[in-house]
Chains A and B, each alone.
Chain A
């Protein structure tokens, strides 16, 4: 009787021990358990920013939740080792992969950013850019931040591929940053995506001081000439021409530009309304969920807890600032060569850093502080959408050099 009771008590004890060891709670008490706790804290903070302050909530929310899931010990939803050394380890993929590993294939294979670009294209009005093509130059100037940061990152000890991925944060274009990073430096995807989307949400905080510092009150009050009306035929031909020219000149930018222009043509041609509405809503929303969750999942404690993450955050904000300043300065330079009635308000140069339409709204707000009757929004939308094209071109160039 006594032997039986001892045996059963051992069995119960072992069962309880096994159960406790199988829970994720034990993981917190391991050697690096504290890093998981800190990462879960970061995820909570990002969730707070997304829900309470509505900072880019569509992506920050899903990224934060992906970060939370991946840092819960024992959940086994994402395995960084399956994607180590820049390629998918198909051999043991089915045996080991968790849900987020399967979903991450869309990022790894460059599918989600392109699908998002189809939706972005369908939601973008290129009219202001067609009416004022000079805006392309402002969009190009704002990309200077990417390449200066590229050098800065190299100076801090990053490899050229990693430096290119960090520099692209300055393009202020989430899908482009994710696309390029997944190709060049997938190990940095988590910190770069978080930095890119966080800074995009902080555009109203980062840009105005730089814009005000580089312009005079008189310049900020400049009223611009009304844009000419753009015909439907021009709107239809624009995406076709841009897709063909850029894809021929820069084949590596073809996936991004091709998808952007495909979406835009769906919207402008007016004969595939159902497709246009689908890519703007259902497709976009589904891809945003998958992209956000899986990008968040790459932000594991091991990937985040090193000095490089801090470097990425600092370089990211630097890239944003330089891009903003370059756009404003080029607009000022262009003003030296035009007549009085055709001057450009330099504030719209800052909109060249993509971040559609937030950067254009910032130009409008800062402009109205000087002249409440000045409406810069439509003028700023030109460089803003040119920035999307510009950052995709810059990504294509970096991919050609470093990919």
Chain B
């Protein structure tokens, strides 16, 4: 939509358009500053309220959510440690080979004849 219907542009029209345009840019962006300030005010208040709630004194016998989370995490870690923890040292203790004449060294080697 065209704001102006000027057919013969002269200096006075040009100056007015420039001036109005500059003012409009400032007005629109100043409005955005105002809205964003308001926006920021609401959100910073919410954040401050959340911080205050977090810092509020806890009555005896009640546990804070973060404490419960910490205890649960500690228990979980403890149980995880208990679960078939291995020595992490791998050593070959011994090897047993079942005897068979087919793999017997004595039978496999060429026997040197006894010289008596």
Inter-chain contact B2/A143, CB cutoff 8 Å: no
CA distance A136 to B35 in the complex (A): 11
With a cutoff of 8 Å between Cβ atoms, the chain B residues found around residue A154 in the complex are: 9, 11, 14
Chain A minimum-CB-distance residue to B2: A403
Residue B32 CB within 8 A of the other chain: yes
Inter-chain contact B25/A151, CB cutoff 8 Å: no
> A-side binding surface: helix, strand, loop or mixed?
helix
Chain A minimum-CB-distance residue to B24: A397
Q: Which residues 10-29 in B have Cβ within 8 Å of A in the complex?
A: 11, 13-15, 17-18, 20-22, 24-26, 28-29
Q: Which residues 362-403 in A have Cβ within 8 Å of B in the complex?
A: 386, 389-390, 393-394, 397-398, 400-403
Inter-chain contact A400/B2, CB cutoff 8 Å: yes
Chain A minimum-CB-distance residue to B4: A401
Q: Among B15, B25, B33, which residue has its beta carbon within 8 angstroms of that of A143? A: B25
A390 → chain B, closest Cβ, in Å?
Answer: 6
Residue A82 CB within 8 A of the other chain: no
CA distance A140 to B32 in the complex (A): 11
Inter-chain contact A150/B18, CB cutoff 8 Å: yes
Interface string of A216-239 (1 = CB under 8 A from B): 000000000000100101100110
Interface string of A347-362 (1 = CB under 8 A from B): 0000000000000000
Residue A130 CB within 8 A of the other chain: yes
Q: Among B11, B15, B28, which residue has its beta carbon within 8 angstroms of that of A393? A: B28
A384 → chain B, closest Cβ, in Å?
Answer: 14
Interface string of B37-70 (1 = CB under 8 A from A): 1011001100100000000000000000000000
Decide: A140 near B29, CB < 8 A? Known: A245-B35, A397-B21, A401-B21: yes
A161 → chain B, closest Cβ, in Å?
Answer: 9
With a cutoff of 8 Å between Cβ atoms, the chain A residues found around residue B39 in the complex are: 130, 133, 234, 237-238, 241
Q: Which residues 203-255 in A have Cβ within 8 Å of B in the complex?
A: 228, 231, 233-234, 237-238, 241-242, 245-246, 249-252
Inter-chain contact A231/B43, CB cutoff 8 Å: yes
B interface bracket (residues with beta carbon within 8 Å of A): 20 to 34
Chain B minimum-CB-distance residue to A231: B43
Decide: A147 near B18, CB < 8 A? Known: A136-B29, A252-B1, A400-B1: yes
Residue A311 CB within 8 A of the other chain: no
A interface bracket (residues with beta carbon within 8 Å of B): 35 or more
Inter-chain contact B25/A140, CB cutoff 8 Å: yes
With a cutoff of 8 Å between Cβ atoms, the chain B residues found around residue A131 in the complex are: 40
Inter-chain contact A401/B2, CB cutoff 8 Å: yes
CA distance A129 to B30 in the complex (A): 13
CA distance A389 to B26 in the complex (A): 12
Residue B31 CB within 8 A of the other chain: yes
With a cutoff of 8 Å between Cβ atoms, the chain A residues found around residue B40 in the complex are: 130-131, 133, 228, 234
A265 → chain B, closest Cβ, in Å?
Answer: 16
Interface string of A295-312 (1 = CB under 8 A from B): 000000000000000000
Inter-chain contact A400/B3, CB cutoff 8 Å: yes
Residue B71 CB within 8 A of the other chain: no
Inter-chain contact B28/A401, CB cutoff 8 Å: no
Additional A-B contact list (10), CB under 8 Å, known A245-B32, A393-B25:
A129-B36, A136-B29, A150-B17, A154-B9, A228-B40, A234-B43, A237-B39, A389-B32, A394-B21, A394-B25
Q: List 10 A-B contacts (CB under 8 A).
A: A133-B32, A133-B39, A136-B33, A140-B28, A147-B21, A148-B18, A245-B31, A249-B31, A252-B1, A398-B21
A residues in contact (CB < 8 Å) with B? 129-131, 133-134, 136-137, 139-140, 143-144, 147-148, 150-151, 154, 159-160, 163, 228, 231, 233-234, 237-238, 241-242, 245-246, 249-252, 386, 389-390, 393-394, 397-398, 400-403
Please give me the 4 A-B residue pairs with the lowest Cβ-Cβ distance, nearest first.
A133-B36, A140-B29, A136-B29, A147-B18
